[in-house]
Structure 1
Amino acid sequence: MTEPMIYDLTRQALWICVVISAPLLTIALVVGVVIGLFQALTSVQEMTLTFVPKAAVMLGVFWLSMSFMTSTLVSFFTETIIPQIAGG
């Protein structure tokens, strides 16, 4: 395996990490901003108000996007990593 191949493989792996984590991070950002605006408008500063809804929504999004994440990782490994290990 040459050095450019290692860099390309690392670049692809990092991009897969970004693609897989994007749904969870996006929904956490959106829910956090909405709850923050709600707290600012109503002057309610309860810590559990930010944590519990965000955790519940992130759990739901994770459950919904789990098949996408799994298929993305499996295709990356079967199309890229396994052939490199096998000497392709």
Structure 2
Amino acid sequence: MMSEGVFYDTLRQAMLAAITMSLPILVVALVIGLSVGLFQALTSIQEMTLTFVPKLAGILVVFWLTMGIMTQALVAFFDGHVIPLIHGGGL
């Protein structure tokens, strides 16, 4: 059975990996959303769909560019934490 310390350490590492993998996409979505919002405020264009296409394009580009890094982070997490727990039983 897995001890509480091992469980919380694995959970902490999983959350760190999730944050590391999602941060580039979230930052790009935030920057594009703020830029489009500022543009809409300055030009008084209040089109609701105007933010969707640039955000989607930016997210797809960043996801494509960082897909390798995200995969490496996920594989490193599983190789370093999850698989040893499965093999060793949490020891």
The TM-score bracket by the shorter chain reads over 0.9
Q: Does 1:80 align with 2:66?
A: no
- Distance in 2 between the 1:35 and 1:5 partners? 44
The whole-number CA distance in structure 2 between the counterparts of 1:75 and 1:52 is: 33
- Structure 1 letter corresponding to 2:12: R
Unaligned runs of 5+ in 2: none
Structure 1 residue runs of 5 or longer lacking an equivalent are: none
Under a length normalisation based on structure 2, what TM-score does the superposition of the two structures give? 0.93
2:54 counterpart of 1:45: no
How far apart in 2 are the matches of 1:8 and 1:38?
A: 44
Tell me the TM-score normalised to structure 1 length. Answer: 0.96
2:5 equivalent in structure 1: 4
The separation in 2 between residues aligned to 1:21 and 1:33, in whole angstroms, is: 18
Give CA deviations for 1:20-75 in whole Å, capped at 9, x if unaligned: 10000000000000000000000011122111111111110001010000010001
SS in 2 for 1:44: coil
Higher relative contact order (CA 8 A, sep 6+): 2
Count residues in correspondence.
88
Pairwise CA RMSD of aligned residues?
0.8
Letter in 2 for 1:16: A
